[in-house]
Every structure is written in C-alpha cells, then in structure tokens.
Amino acid sequence: MPSPTAELLHGAVAAGDYREVERLLDLYRGEVEACWKAATSAEERQQISRDVTVLLGWARQTILAARAHAQRKLIHLTRQSAYVSASSQSLDQG
C-alpha cells in the first residue's frame, strides 16, 4: 500500500505544483529511509526499491512531458509575437 506522502507527491506532480513536490520529496525520502531500516527481509527491501523506482520514474516522465509542452507553447507564443510585431511595424510605416 502506498504511503500517504507518496499519494500526495503523485497529486502534486500531476498538478504541476513543483514547490510542493520538493517539500513532499523530503518527507518521502524520510519515510523510505525509515521503511528501509525497518525492513526485515531482502524481499521487503526489493519491494520498497520497486515502489520508489516506479514513483520517481513516473514523476520524472510526467515533469519532462510538462516541460516539453511548456517549451512548445513558449516557442509558439514567441513566433506569434514576432509576426504581430512585424505586422504592426508595417502598418505604422504605411
């Protein structure tokens, strides 16, 4: 069962709340360390490792996708702005 912090972390990443993601990552790291120390078998530690790897892998891919989307929007807006500036200059000169 995922920890409540892991679920909150998942929600913060999905919402793009990166300040909250950073805060929750600190909490999650502490939880993971405590679970790791409390683990009594190699199987428990393997499961902890898998859970962390899956969550962080998903978070990484989600954040990279959001960044790529934001970059595309910025490029589009920059191009739009260039055309608007050029057309308003030609209207001013005409």
Which segments of the chain does DSSP mark as H helices, in order? 4-15, 18-38, 42-93
Q: How confident is the model at residue 83 (pLDDT cuts 50, 70, 90)?
A: low
Q: What is the pLDDT of residue 4?
A: 93
The count of other CB atoms within 10 Å of the CB of residue 58 is 14
Residue 46, Cβ neighbours under 10 Å: how many?
A: 11
pLDDT, tens digit (0-9, with 9 covering 90-100), for 23-59:
999 999 999 999 999 999 999 999 999 999 999 999 9
Q: How many CB atoms lie within 10 A of CB 25?
A: 16
Q: Is the separation of the CB atoms in 56 and 29 below 8 Å?
A: no
Q: 3-state class of 3 per DSSP? A: coil
| Residue 59 DSSP symbol | H
Of 20 and 84, the one with more pLDDT:
20
